[in-house]
C-alpha cells in the first residue's frame, strides 16, 4: 500500500502553481499527483478543467518508443537490428552500425535537431523531408560511445514503425496504445481537434510554423507532437508499473523504464528518462519519466508509488527552474 501523501506538501505544490498563474507568468496549467488511490487533479488559469489538452512536446518520445517495443514483442523487429535494414537510405560510414537500441537510448550519434530544422519548419516541410535530412546529417560521435539527447533518433524510430506496420504512426499509436490503455484525450497530432480547443503555448513570436501553428500542431512529430491531458499521461506512467492490459510483455515494460546505458555518461531507459534525481530531488533511483520543452513534466517513483504530471503553457526554458523543478521536488518530498 502506498504511504499517504503529506497534505502540507500537496498544498505547497498547489500554491506554487497558483502563484505563477496569478502573477501572469503561466497562462494555464494542470497538476495531477497520485499516490496509491490518493489523487489530486487540479486546473489553473485558462485551463478551466483538468481535462484541458496540452501539447506535450518530448513526453511524446516514450510513446514512439512504446510503438517500437510493441513491434519488438511481435518479433517484427529487434532492438539489435541496424536502422539501415528498415531505412536503406540511412547508410554509409558509421551509420551502418546504428541500431534501433541506439535510437531509443539517445546513443546513436544523431543530433537533437537538424541544422536545417528552422528552414524546414518555415516552409512547412512534411516529416519525410526531416527523415531525409536525418539520413544525410553527419553523426556527432560513434554509435554507442556516449549519450546525447537526439530527437532525430526518435524521428527515425517512428519512421521504422510506419514502414514495418504499414500505417501512419499516429494511427498505430491510437489503436495499439491510446485506445487500449484508456487514454481518450491523447493523440499524435491534433486528433481532429481545433487548435482553440487546446491550450496555447506562450511563444515569444507568433508565426505559421511555431508551436501554436496549424502546421506544427498536426505534423505529428514522433519526438514532440502528441497532445494529451494530465490524467491520460498519468495513466501512461502507471501502465509501466502495472502493465495491464498486456499492450507490452511485462518484461518489455520493465526494460523500458530501466537504465539501458550502463557505463555511459547518462542513464536512460527505452524512450523514458531514468535516474531519480534528474526528474525530482528526493526521488528514488527507480524513478522514470520525461519532460517537454513546451513546459511539461511527468514522472513516477515506483518505490513510493508516487506520480506527478504537470502540464503548463510556459516553455521549459523558463518554467523548469521557476515551476516544473520546484513543484516536482515538493511533491517528491511530500511522498
DSSP string, 75-141: TS--TTSBGGGT-TTS-SGGGGG-BHHHHHTT-S---SS-TTHHHHHHTT--HHHHHHHHHHSPPSS
Contact between residue 128 and residue 168 where contact means Cβ atoms under 8 Å apart = no
Q: Is the pLDDT of residue 29 over 70?
A: yes
Contact between residue 286 and residue 51 where contact means Cβ atoms under 8 Å apart = no
Query: Which pLDDT tens digit goes with each residue over 117-150?
Result: 999 999 999 999 999 999 999 999 999 999 999 9
The average pLDDT across 175-196 equals 98
Q: What does the alpha-carbon distance between residue 225 and residue 216 come to, in Å, rounded to a whole number? A: 8
pTM of the model: 0.97
Residue 210 makes CB contacts below 8 A (sequence gap 6+) with: 201, 203, 216
| pLDDT band at residue 4 under the 50/70/90 scheme | low
- Of the chain, the percentage scoring pLDDT greater than 70 comes to 98
The average pLDDT across 51-55 equals 98
Q: Is the pLDDT of residue 70 over 60?
A: yes
Query: Which pLDDT tens digit goes with each residue over 156-175?
Result: 999 999 999 999 999 999 99
Q: Which of the residue ranges 14-28, 165-179, 248-262, 266-280 would you say has the lowest mean pLDDT?
A: 266-280
| pLDDT band at residue 8 under the 50/70/90 scheme | confident
**Strand partners for 29:** 44, 312
Query: Which pLDDT tens digit goes with each residue over 266-281?
Result: 999 999 999 878 899 9
- Of the chain, the percentage scoring pLDDT greater than 90 comes to 95
Q: Is the pLDDT of residue 83 over 50?
A: yes
Query: Which pLDDT tens digit goes with each residue over 212-245?
Result: 999 999 999 999 999 999 999 999 999 999 999 9
pLDDT at 277: 81
pLDDT at 1: 39
Query: Which pLDDT tens digit goes with each residue over 302-317?
Result: 999 999 999 999 999 9
The average pLDDT across 26-31 equals 98
pLDDT at 128: 98
Q: Is the pLDDT of residue 2 over 80?
A: no
Amino acid at each position: 500500500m502506498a504511504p499517504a501523501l503529506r497534505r502540507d506538501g500537496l498544498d505547497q505544490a498547489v500554491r506554487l502553481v497558483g502563484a505563477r498563474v496569478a502573477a501572469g507568468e503561466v497562462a494555464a496549467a494542470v497538476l495531477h499527483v497520485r499516490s496509491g488511490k490518493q489523487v489530486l487533479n487540479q486546473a489553473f488559469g485558462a485551463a478551466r478543467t483538468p481535462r484541458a489538452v496540452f501539447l506535450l512536446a518530448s513526453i511524446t518520445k516514450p510513446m514512439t518508443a512504446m510503438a517500437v517495443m510493441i513491434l519488438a514483442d511481435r518479433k517484427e523487429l529487434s532492438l539489435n537490428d541496424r536502422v539501415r535494414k528498415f531505412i536503406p537510405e540511412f547508410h554509409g560510414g558509421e551509420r551502418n552500425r546504428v541500431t534501433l537500441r541506439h535510437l531509443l537510448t539517445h546513443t546513436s550519434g544523431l543530433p537533437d535537431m537538424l541544422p536545417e530544422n528552422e528552414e524546414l519548419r518555415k516552409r512547412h516541410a512534411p516529416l519525410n523531408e526531416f527523415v531525409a535530412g536525418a539520413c544525410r546529417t553527419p553523426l556527432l560521435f560513434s554509435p554507442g560511445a556516449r549519450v546525447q539527447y537526439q530527437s532525430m533518433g526518435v524521428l527515425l524510430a517512428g519512421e521504422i514503425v510506419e514502414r514495418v506496420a504499414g500505417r501512419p504512426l499516429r494511427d498505430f499509436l491510437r489503436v495499439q496504445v491510446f485506445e487500449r490503455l484508456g487514454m481518450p484525450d491523447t493523440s499524435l497530432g491534433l486528433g481532429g481537434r481545433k487548435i482553440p480547443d487546446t491550450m496555447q503555448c506562450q511563444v515569444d513570436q507568433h508565426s505559421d510554423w511555431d508551436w501554436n501553428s496549424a502546421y506544427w500542431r498536426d505534423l505529428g512529430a514522433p519526438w514532440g507532437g502528441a497532445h494529451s491531458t494530465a490524467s491520460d499521461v498519468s495513466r501512461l506512467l502507471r501502465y509501466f508499473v502495472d502493465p495491464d492490459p498486456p499492450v507490452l510483455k511485462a518484461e518489455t515494460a520493465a526494460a523500458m523504464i530501466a537504465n539501458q546505458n550502463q557505463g555511459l555518461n547518462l542513464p536512460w531507459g527505452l524512450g523514458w528518462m531514468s535516474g531519480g534525481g534528474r526528474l525530482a530531488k528526493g526521488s528514488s533511483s527507480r524513478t522514470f519519466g520525461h519532460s517537454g520543452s513546451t513546459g511539461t513534466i511527468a514522472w513516477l517513483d515506483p518505490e513510493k508509488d508516487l506520480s506527478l504530471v504537470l502540464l503548463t503553457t510556459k516553455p521549459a526554458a523558463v518554467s523548469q527552474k521557476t515551476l516544473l523543478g520546484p513543484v516536482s521536488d515538493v511533491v517528491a518530498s511530500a511522498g
